[in-house]
Every structure is written in structure tokens, then in C-alpha cells.
């Protein structure tokens, strides 16, 4: 039976009707970057695709990361050239296909003395990196999204930027470039919207609960719409468990002899109310060693990157995680321990607890470590497991991306496998060259200038920049009218955001809670907890759209407040009663 929409035919209710009534080639379970890229890739190759996510799209590790597209310089120390080249290609792919959501970012690594940590040794490493990645910009035409060459800074040049990194024997710094993800949840959403635009049926708050197996083959997944409580089967020939760090826990709940044992790391990064340099990140050495380094120049680094103009991201702190992924939390003791690590690495910074505004924490595949190990071995490769090969049912595949940067490549490899299992003619991947939703931009500078010309004069330059970074070429869908008085009268208090952005999130982007709106669609909570008047205004607009009672609005506001400093998976599990 078709599912009946509760408040009109929205994108979500349309997808739910399709999920309950169609048969798909591929069902992707999960809503992070790996799952999103898998669904998008499969849709581009002409497969019939469905994607369901238990919570909101991009609400897990994909949102709570260090926001960096890693190009792989660390793998030089491991002599892992294959991984370095892969990372470089994937960084370039995201800079190219999502130009409004990413940018190159320089990272300065201080140098000391005349031995392995010297300016000249690091300069040689950067020269090697340049040689190994000389083709990194071959497919990227826009100069603003090309990865520049590495270079060296003198001691004085470094201290003019970062006065707090001084130390005995400081000689300067080497500077390399990685990418920064300007808004990770919106980047995930852009990929999911791209999948939907190519025919995928996608739904958030739709929980996969039980496999339906016939004759040793998975034929469907029983799912529950958490908003309306309805249970239905999603029929699919191949089911991909792309739930990221939840993948091992998820398959254990499925039973039927399915096993997945992948060690996990809890990675944590802080947002602090401090500006070091608005356009460059810097690294400081910690007390911890990298046991996998073949050519070591000292201990691991923490990196401090500019964030949202007035803040700094500091990360990452890692520990072996042995608990259930669904119970991820961060204690005050862990926060204080990370603060101590930061201040030991760079005592002049003297970061205080009251400066920490957001704690980002997520789970990633890890290396083999004992629970109390300090010098940690990190995961090396993404995981793709065909469960039929280990005694599980045919048609079930699990996939876990090793980091955000590798999500696109994970999707490519999983869809290659899915095509084999479906027994169809292989269609090549095209996600390295196809732009994501809103990203059809040849020149970032040129498009931003044209967008500024088309926007009403009442929209400030800062607002225009944010609209570009959130929506790219789709900005006009959000600000459908150009009446100056309407725009000026539609501001969300204590922000420069428009009420139209809240309405658009609810009507067009499947935002179903205030957290969806504030934390992920608008990014109002990505650096600090929004003001109470901001939350009240957003709840009023979203509540009018979704028919919330006054009690529901208050509960939604409290849920956002409770997300700070860290939004755990449990705290994001919403109540949908009125």
C-alpha cells in the first residue's frame, strides 16, 4: 500500500512512497559522505537506487570531523606512495566537483634545528611531495580550486602569522596545501541531492531494522519511518551497509551469521573562540609518536585551522573506542585531557575551557591498538566486505570509509562490486568529473561576482558569500523573490540569515527537526551555540511549516541547546510526537 503523506506531497513523502512500492537494484543504508557518494555514483551509472538514513543526512562523523580534505603528506613518512597518490586525487576531485563547498588551505609546519626537524629536511620532503603529486591539478581548470605549490617560510615570516608557536631552535616552517570543507553537512546533502536528481529515492529518519532473506539471499530490508511510525519493506537486489562507524554494530543487530570486526578510533576536534590566522593553519608537535612512520621527523602534530572567520579548529585527539558506536559521548574529563595536550604542545596558547564552543567527535576505522595505548596506529584503508564470502547472505555488502576525503572513492569501488553482483554490464564511474548539486561553476571568482550582481542590494557581501558557499548555483531557489523590503524584513534575529533559508530547508531539503535546520542546513551551530532568540525564531518558522505545537517547539529548542558542546548520536534521536 502506498504511504499516505501527512502534510502534503513533500520530497520526503514522495521518496517514502517510492521506497515502499518500487524494487531497487541497490539500497544504501547510511547518510554520511561514503553512503551519499555510493548512492550518487550508482544513480549516475543508471542503477535504480534507494538511500535511507536513521537520523538526518550528514549528522554523524561526516559532520563532526576536522573539516579537512587530506592530500596525504603524512603518508610520505610511512613510505605509502599508493595511499598518498589516492588521497591527492580525492582531494582534487572534491575541490573540482564541489567548488562552492571546498577550498585549498595552507598548513604551516614549524621547523627546528639542523637535523630531521630542520627547515631543509622538510623542504626536501615538500619537494618530494611536489614530484609525486605533479599531476594534482591536471583536471582542475579554476585557479582558485587548484592546489598550489608548497613553499618555505623563514622564522620571522612564521612568527608574524603565529606568534604563539615560538620555541627553542625555531628556524621557520614548511607550508603545504590541503583542502578545507566549508560546510560538511551541506556537502553531504549536495551529494545526496545530486543522487536524487538522477532518480534515487532518499529519506532521512527512516531506520533499517531487519533483513528479509530468502534462499540465502537478501531480498529486502524492513524499515521504519520514525516520523510516522510506519513499517514497510524496501525491496532491493543488493543492500549496502554504508553506516560508517555504525556498520559493525548494525550488522550484529541483523544477525543471520553476519560478522564485521573493525576497530574504531574516537577522533575529537575543538572549535575555540580564538583567531590565530584567518587564512592559514599551523601544526604543533604533541607528546605522542607515530609508530607507523618509517622516516620520522618527531612526534605527531595537532593542527589549528581557521574556521568561520572568528574561530579556530584544533584537532585531532584520538583514542581507542571499544564501546557501542550508538553510545558515543565525550566526557568533561576527555575535554580537559585534550586541552592539556594542546597547551603542552604550545604553552603560549593557554587555551581555556570557556573558549571551547563546540566539540566535534566521530568514529573512524582504526589500526590494531590495545585499549590503553598512547602511540596509536591509525587505519590505512577503507573497508569493503562482501558478506557472502564470509558465510553471510548473498547481496549484503558493508563499506566503511577511512576518512571523509576517501568517501567518493569508496562509493566508486562499492558500485563496481554491486555491478558485478547484479550481473550487469559494467558502466564506468563519472563522479570525478560530475559536479554536485549547486556546483556547476567554471570559475568561483567569476560566478561569485555574477551572483553578487544579481542579488538585491539589500543583501550584504557577507550574506552573498555565505549563500554561495551553501547553495552554489541554486541560491535563487532559496531567495525566490528580489523585493528589498521582503528580504530586509525576513532576517533571523542575532544573525545575518534569512527566514527564507529555514522555509527552504523544510520544504525542499527534508529538514524535520530544529537541529536539522540550525545545525546542518544553515550551519548556525557550527561554531557556537546560537542565541535563544535565534532558536526561537527558527523554531517559529519551522513549526509553522511542520505544524508543531508550542510544546514541540520548546522541546526542539531544548534539543539544540543540549547539542552543545557535543551532539551525541543519542541526543540527536528525536521525538516526533506533537
- The secondary structure of residue 225, as a DSSP letter, is E
Please name the helix (run of DSSP H) or strand (run of DSSP E) that holds residue 123, with its range, or none.
helix 119-132
Going from N- to C-terminal start, the domains of the chain cover 11-61+185-262+381-422, 68-182+263-365, 444-561
Report pLDDT for 229.
95
Number of H helices, E strands in the chain: 18, 17
Report pLDDT for 394.
94
pLDDT tens-place values along the chain, 578 residues long: 334 333 347 899 999 999 999 999 999 999 999 999 999 999 999 999 999 999 999 999 999 999 999 998 888 887 889 999 999 999 999 999 999 999 999 999 999 988 778 898 999 999 999 999 999 999 999 999 999 999 999 999 999 999 888 778 899 999 999 999 999 999 999 999 999 999 999 999 999 999 999 999 999 999 999 999 999 999 999 999 999 989 888 888 877 567 778 888 889 999 999 999 999 999 998 877 655 554 555 567 899 999 999 999 998 998 888 888 888 989 999 999 999 999 999 999 999 999 999 999 999 886 565 566 565 455 567 889 999 988 889 999 999 998 899 999 999 999 999 999 999 999 999 999 999 999 999 999 999 999 999 998 889 999 999 999 999 999 999 987 544 446 767 899 999 999 999 999 999 999 999 999 999 999 999 999 999 999 999 999 999 999 999 999 999 999 999 999 998 777 777 888 77
Inter-residue contact 535 to 518 (CB < 8 Å):
yes
Report pLDDT for 469.
96
- 205: Cβ contacts below 8 Å, ≥ 6 apart: 53, 54, 55, 56, 225, 226, 227, 512, 574, 576
Report pLDDT for 485.
47
How far apart are alpha carbons 275 and 357 in whole angstroms? 13
Residue listed under C-alpha cell 568533561? 332
Instruction: Kindly report the length of the chain.
Output: 578
Report pLDDT for 260.
79
pLDDT in tens, 237-258: 999 999 998 988 888 887 756 7
Q: What is the CATH architecture of 68-182+263-365?
A: 2-Layer Sandwich (3.30)
Inter-residue contact 185 to 470 (CB < 8 Å):
no
How far apart are alpha carbons 10 and 7 in whole angstroms? 8
Report pLDDT for 7.
39
Using alpha carbons, select from 288, 239, 243, 293 the residue that is nearest to residue 264: 243
Inter-residue contact 566 to 330 (CB < 8 Å):
yes
Sign of CA dihedral 547, 552, 557, 561: negative
Q: In this structure, what C-alpha cell is assigned to residue 80?
A: 605509502
pLDDT in tens, 442-452: 999 999 999 99
Using alpha carbons, select from 276, 274, 285, 269 the residue that is nearest to residue 345: 285
Please name the helix (run of DSSP H) or strand (run of DSSP E) that holds residue 197, with its range, or none.
helix 184-197
Q: Is the peptide bond before 316 cis (omega within 30 degrees of 0)?
A: yes
Taking phi over 0 as left and psi of -120 to 50 as alpha, with beta for the rest, 411 belongs to alpha
How far apart are alpha carbons 418 and 519 in whole angstroms? 33
For the entire predicted model, the pTM comes to: 0.94
The dotted CATH code for 11-61+185-262+381-422 is 3.50.50.60
- The secondary structure of residue 163, as a DSSP letter, is G
| 444-561 homologous superfamily | Alpha-glycerophosphate oxidase, cap domain (1.10.8.870)
Amino acid at each position: 500500500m502506498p504511504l499516505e503523506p501527512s502534510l502534503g506531497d513533500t520530497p520526503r513523502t514522495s521518496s517514502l512512497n517510492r521506497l515502499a512500492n518500487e524494487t531497487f537494484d541497490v539500497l544504501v543504508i547510511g547518510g554520511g559522505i561514503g553512503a551519499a557518494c555510493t548512492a550518487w555514483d550508482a544513480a549516475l551509472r543508471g542503477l535504480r537506487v534507494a538511500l535511507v538514513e536513521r537520523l538526518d543526512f550528514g549528522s554523524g562523523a561526516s559532520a563532526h570531523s576536522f573539516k579537512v580534505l587530506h592530500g596525504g603528506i603524512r603518508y610520505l613518512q610511512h613510505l605509502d606512495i599508493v595511499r598518498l597518490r589516492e588521497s591527492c586525487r580525492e582531494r582534487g576531485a572534491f575541490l573540482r566537483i564541489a567548488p562552492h563547498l571546498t577550498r585549498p588551505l595552507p598548513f604551516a609546519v614549524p621547523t627546528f634545528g639542523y637535523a630531521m626537524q630542520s627547515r631543509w629536511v622538510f623542504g626536501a620532503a615538500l619537494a618530494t611531495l611536489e614530484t609525486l603529486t605533479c599531476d594534482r591539478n591536471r583536471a582542475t581548470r579554476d585557479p582558485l580550486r587548484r592546489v598550489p605549490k608548497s613553499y618555505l617560510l623563514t622564522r620571522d615570516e612564521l612568527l608574524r602569522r603565529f606568534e604563539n608557536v615560538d620555541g627553542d631552535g625555531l628556524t621557520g616552517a614548511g607550508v603545504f596545501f590541503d583542502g578545507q570543507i566549508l560546510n560538511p553537512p551541506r556537502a553531504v546533502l549536495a551529494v545526496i541531492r545530486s543522487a536524487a536528481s538522477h532518480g534515487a529515492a532518499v529519506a532521512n529518519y527512516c531506520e533499517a531494522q531487519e533483513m528479509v532473506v530468502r534462499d540465502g539471499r537478501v531480498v529486502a530490508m524492513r524499515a521504519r519511518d520514525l516520523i510516522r511510525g510506519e513499517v514497510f519493506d524496501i525491496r532491493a537486489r543488493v543492500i549496502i551497509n554504508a553506516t560508517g562507524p555504525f556498520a559493525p554494530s548494525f550488522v550484529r543487530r541483523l544477525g543471520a551469521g553476519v560478522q564485521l570486526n573493525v576497530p574504531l578510533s574516537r577522533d575529537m576536534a575543538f572549535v575555540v573562540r580564538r583567531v590565530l590566522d584567518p587564512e592559514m593553519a599551523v601544526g604543533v608537535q604533541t607528546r605522542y609518536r607515530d609508530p607507523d612512520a618509517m622516516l620520522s621527523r618527531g612526534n605527531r602534530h595537532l593542527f589549528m585551522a581557521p574556521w568561520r572567520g572568528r574561530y579556530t579548529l584544533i584537532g585531532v585527539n584520538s583514542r581507542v573506542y571499544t564501546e557501542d558506536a550508538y553510545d558515543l559521548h565525550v566526557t568533561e574529563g576527555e575535554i580537559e585531557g585534550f586541552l592539556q595536550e594542546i597547551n603542552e604542545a604550545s604553552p603560549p596558547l593557554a587555551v581555556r575551557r570557556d573558549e571551547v564552543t563546540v566539540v566535534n567527535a566521530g568514529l573512524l576505522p582504526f589500526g590494531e591498538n590495545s585499549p590503553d595505548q598512547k602511540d596509536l596506529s591509525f587505519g590505512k584503508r577503507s573497508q569493503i566486505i562482501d558478506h557472502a564470502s564470509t558465510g553471510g547472505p548473498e547481496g549484503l555488502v558493508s563499506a566503511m570509509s577511512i576518512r571523509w576525503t576517501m568517501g567518493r572513492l569508496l562509493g566508486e569501488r562499492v558500485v563496481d562490486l554491486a555491478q558485478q553482483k547484479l550481473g550487469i554490464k559494467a558502466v564506468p564511474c563519472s563522479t570525478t568529473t560530475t559536479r554536485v548539486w549547486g556546483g556547476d561553476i567554471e570559475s568561483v571568482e567569476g560566478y561569485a561576482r555574477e551572483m553578487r550582481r544579481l542579488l538585491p542590494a539589500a543583501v550584504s557581501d557577507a550574506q552573498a558569500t555565505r549563500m554561495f558557499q551553501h547553495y552554489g548555483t541554486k541560491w535563487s531557489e532559496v531567495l525566490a523573490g528580489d523585493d528589498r523590503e521582503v528580504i530586509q524584513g525576513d532576517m533571523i534575529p542575532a544573525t545575518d540569515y534569512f527566514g527564507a533559508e529555514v522555509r527552504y530547508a523544510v520544504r525542499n531539503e527534508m529538514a524535520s527537526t530544529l537541529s536539522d535546520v540550525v545545525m546542518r542546513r544553515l550551519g548556525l551551530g557550527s561554531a557556537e551555540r546560537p542565541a535563544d532568540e535565534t532558536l526561537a525564531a527558527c523554531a517559529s518558522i519551522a513549526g509553522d511549516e511542520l505544524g508543531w505545537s508550542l510544546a514541540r517547539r520548546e522541546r526542539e529548542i531544548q534539543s539544540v541547546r543540549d547539542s552543545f558542546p557535543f551532539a551525541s548520536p543519542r541526543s540527536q534521536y528525536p521525538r516526533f510526537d506533537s
